[in-house]
């Protein structure tokens, strides 16, 4: 199986349970892996036989910077659903990792993260 990976996409959004998260907002990072058969694109150099990275980035950006939700689990599910629907016929599965680098909880850690895998396997 072949994959396209978009690493460390960073956006600013207003997702969270606490009131300050929805008012002030915060950074979110997203890693996206797409299961795609890349053989045809590799042989022919034809963009139509793969996933346009710019389109995938824009899809993720629109979700993360769009309508606020409480949970990053919901953000991840929306991304997976949009990827599988938007690139139907090309993407057979996806892995979505959504990270909150600065959640408003006490303690020392680099980030909190959800990691989901969805597909038509």
Please state the rounded mean pLDDT for residues 4-30: 96
Give 60-97 pLDDT, tens digit per residue.
999 999 999 999 999 999 999 999 999 999 999 999 99
CA-to-CA separations, 106 to 5, 22, 109, 111, in angstroms, rounded: 32, 18, 9, 12
pLDDT at 95: 98
Domain boundaries, the chain: 3-119
Among the listed residues 23, 70, 81, 100, the single catalytic one is 100
Please state the rounded mean pLDDT for residues 1-14: 97
Residue 121 clears pLDDT 70, i.e. is over it? no
Asked whether 83 and 102 are in contact (CB, 8 A), the reply is: no
Please state the rounded mean pLDDT for residues 31-54: 98
Architecture of domain 3-119: 2-Layer Sandwich (3.30)
81 as an active site residue: the answer is no
């Amino acid at each position: 199986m072949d994959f396209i990976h978009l690493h460390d996409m960073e956006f600013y959004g207003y997702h969270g349970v606490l009131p300050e998260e929805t008012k002030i907002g915060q950074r979110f990072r997203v890693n996206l892996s797409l299961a795609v058969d890349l053989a045809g694109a590799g042989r022919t150099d034809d963009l139509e036989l793969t996933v346009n990275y710019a389109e995938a980035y824009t899809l993720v950006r629109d979700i993360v910077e769009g309508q606020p939700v409480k949970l990053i689990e919901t953000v991840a599910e929306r991304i997976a659903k949009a990827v599988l629907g938007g690139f139907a016929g090309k993407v057979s599965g996806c892995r979505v990792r959504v990270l909150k680098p600065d959640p408003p909880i006490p303690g020392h850690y680099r980030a909190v993260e959800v990691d989901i895998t969805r597909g038509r396997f």
